[in-house]
Amino acid sequence: DAGVIQSPRHEVTEMGQEVTLRCKPISGHNSLFWYRQTMMRGLELLIYFNNNVPIDDSGMPEDRFSAKMPNASFSTLKIQPSEPRDSAVYFCASSLRGGLAGADTQYFGPGTRLTVL
Amino acid sequence: GNSVTQMEGPVTLSEEAFLTINCTYTATGYPSLFWYVQYPGEGLQLLLKATKADDKGSNKGFEATYRKETTSFHLEKGSVQVSDSAVYFCALSDQNQGGKLIFGQGTELSVKP
């Protein structure tokens, strides 16, 4: 299995530009999670999906952030417009059963390092 | 609300030293507890987990025991190696909150030869 795939691995953009991060979860997994990691705030859950449906987006920082999961094998996290404070590493993770099984293991992708100038 | 607190790093040890990284939690329900490890430039990987009180999770020489009475899940290893250098995250998952993971702030471990 290829694991969770994220693209791009690195993104450098200018303030005000739109940024789209992509994630392909492990085949057969029903839940997908987006996290943001910064030195100041650590690892934060932004949003998660069960069976392609957003369940909890309370971690999404503001309206500039949006996430979609059009099918079981693809999700996007979009920032529009981007700001320098959005600079972080964004991780996608997937799990087999998600919220229905509290002990479910989450498998993380390698992350996208975003730099907004 | 639920939360996880880890000992602050960085922790610097010599090879073959004993490792303890403290983790305590606050939860309203009966959470599952996890240790994840992040090697430089990579995503997080599950190291071990425990789903109920007194369970011991173990993997690659690391161990942690779910202690409900002290709300703790301390990570231990008897003899660390240089290859164990990484950031370690303690986390909990509460089924009453949809099973989402709540992470501690992470503890950086550096093992010197």
Of the listed ranges A59-63, A103-107, B85-89, B102-106, the least confidently predicted one is A103-107
Residue A24, H or E segment: strand A19-24
Residue A5, H or E segment: strand A5-7
- Does pLDDT of A85 surpass 60? yes
A48 touches chain B (CB under 8 A): yes
Residue type, B75: L
Per the structure block, which two tokens stand in for B112?
Answer: 């010197």
| H, E, C per residue of A74-116 | EEEEEECCCCHHHCEEEEEEEECCHHHCCCCCCEECCCEEEEE
The pLDDT score that the predictor gives to residue B50 is 94
The pLDDT score that the predictor gives to residue A84 is 96
Per the structure block, which two tokens stand in for B56?
Answer: 């011991």
Q: Contact B100/A43, CB-based, under 8 Å?
A: no
- Does pLDDT of A66 surpass 60? yes
- Does pLDDT of A101 surpass 70? no
The pLDDT score that the predictor gives to residue B105 is 92
Q: Alpha-carbon distance B27 to B51, whole Å?
A: 14
Q: Tens digit of pLDDT for each residue in B46-105?
A: 999 999 999 999 999 999 999 999 999 999 999 999 999 999 999 998 776 666 788 999
B87 touches chain A (CB under 8 A): no
Taking contacts as CB-CB distances below 8 angstroms, the residues of chain A near B45 are 108
Q: Tens digit of pLDDT for each residue in A8-55?
A: 999 999 999 999 999 999 999 989 999 999 988 889 999 999 899 998
The pLDDT score that the predictor gives to residue B84 is 97
Q: Alpha-carbon distance B90 to B73, whole Å?
A: 8
Q: Alpha-carbon distance A34 to A78, whole Å?
A: 11
- Name the A residues in 7-36 with CB < 8 Å from any B CB: 33
- Does pLDDT of B43 surpass 60? yes
- Does pLDDT of B6 surpass 80? yes
The pLDDT score that the predictor gives to residue B30 is 81
Length of chain B in terms of residues written: 113
